[in-house]
Structure 1
């Protein structure tokens, strides 16, 4: 704890660029600040400040040490806050963005609401690539890899894209045995809401020289599930969205040996020194329950 106190003194001196002002903030004398800094310099064997009669400035070593000290003190502050908050029930509003397929995740969401009744959920369903920070979301659930240094992330599940059709459709039109056979079938496609492009199917169509027919296009998957169940064609769907249909054999897998796709579902939230209790319990709960069978 004495070492932490010395680090705090050093940070105050570096930020105010004055032993006198640092002493006033800490309610100690300027000579006490100077002695604490001198002890650090002696311990590390480097000068942390250039001193003149009027000002102090950081040496290159001091500047490096300052950034490290800030992180250490922030972590200590965060730990103290977390301990204090364990005595409080999570409460307040959480603004969450879910993909349009998020309706299929509602059992986990409703279970969370029952477990934490004092947390109010504001749910936004959209496949648009929202700006988590600029649009004020507490957390966002999205598929795929996300590279944004402003965000923290946690893997909550994985999915596979698979080709499926109803047994009635396959009985009527025949079962494709290799990718080239898809050229003679009704293909039901998903269109990305963000780009307007058709989502690629999990087979290398260029290697197999296939131009996939288009029987229907939708910008969300629920209509595609319905059309496939009604025997209107073959659809490319995430396995997590059709577990019940596969279990009941209302839909069956097509060309399973040729599937080449898997991907992650991640929760993203703004990076900050502290994560609030309401957001922490939401992230933990979703990671544990969202994609349970």
Structure 2
């Protein structure tokens, strides 16, 4: 037996309190187990078992060594499982929760589905704080800090909100120069579906939040109408910069008050912590980390 085999023989013998049962589980003779452990003791320079004609019991040194051996063998098993899973085809159902801004990522999810046709994807769009484990999600994409110690996390990127309107709108209503100027403008406000609360615009001056009484023109609970109505000149909106990259580039939307909108938001993928990550989940995490915000350019600085 090699060194790893000797460790396995030692653990099996300790668990079975004998060489005969250990040999049966390992598929070798009791004498082979006994000799392997004896050679291990000689190499360590320590006695691992007290032996009698009827039984064996761990010595104090053996008890300490046993716990180390268990961890070593568990790590080997985990490495073998990980390698085996990595070589298998990702398949099965994935339940993913995303915030409302996640609708912007559908082209990427379509790409992922084409790459992994055997993975069944269930998407849940919600701005509420879901319990990943208790609600049975395989992974969630969320903003902000990760505080649940039961979860693993991987940063996907950053974005920030910008206040935008169309050139036609600003020609008619004028450009706001200070946050307080927003009180005279028509505002297209987002309402969180999960809580019913209106989105607050994160305006800051000298690091402090600026509280402005916005004039609400229209309220909606999805991003697309905000973008469309802003483009049509019906008001100004506060939107994630990654959601309106095309409009900012082609000039159909213009950002204002940029010096007051410096707060950046981190986007992460979270999943339950486990020794073994399934091939389908690993494929998803690696994909979104590499591709989700690949072409998006945030104004974070």
Asked if 1:190 is matched to 2:190, the reply is: yes
Give the Cα separation in 1 of the matches to 2:180 and 2:186.
13
Which one of 268, 279, 285 corresponds to residue 283 of structure 1?
Answer: 285
Give the Cα separation in 2 of the matches to 1:23 and 1:132.
43
Which one of 267, 270, 273 corresponds to residue 265 of structure 1?
Answer: 267
SS in 2 for 1:215: strand
TM-score computed with the length of structure 1 as normaliser:
0.80
TM-score computed with the length of structure 2 as normaliser:
0.78
Is contact 1:19-1:34 (8 Å) kept?
no
Cα drift, residue 239 of structure 1:
0.9
Is contact 1:9-1:37 (8 Å) kept?
no
Asked if 1:163 is matched to 2:163, the reply is: yes
Q: Which residue of 1 aligns with 2:100?
A: 100
Q: After the TM superposition, which residues 38-57 of structure 1 pair with which residues of structure 2 at under 5 Å, given as runs?
A: 39=40, 43=44
Structure 1 runs not aligned, ≥5 long? none
Q: Which residue of 1 aligns with 2:224?
A: 222
Give the Cα separation in 1 of the matches to 2:60 and 2:195.
50
Cα drift, residue 197 of structure 1:
3.1
Is contact 1:41-1:48 (8 Å) kept?
no
Pair member with larger Rg: 2
Give the 3 Å change call, closer, same or farther, for CA 25–228 of structure 1 in structure 2. Answer: same
Which is further off, 172-181 or 135-144?
Answer: 135-144
Q: Which residue of 2 aligns with 1:240?
A: 242
Is contact 2:9-2:36 (8 Å) kept?
no
Is contact 1:162-1:253 (8 Å) kept?
yes
Q: Which residue of 2 aligns with 1:152?
A: 152
For each residue in 1:39-77, what CA deviation from the matched residue of structure 2 results, as whole angstroms up to 9, or x when unmatched? 5798497x98999998968979957972x6555433322
Cα drift, residue 142 of structure 1:
1.5
Give the Cα separation in 1 of the matches to 2:124 and 2:267.
17
Give the Cα separation in 2 of the matches to 1:250 and 1:58.
78
CA RMSD, Structure 1 to Structure 2 (Å): 3.6
Structure 2 runs not aligned, ≥5 long? 296-301
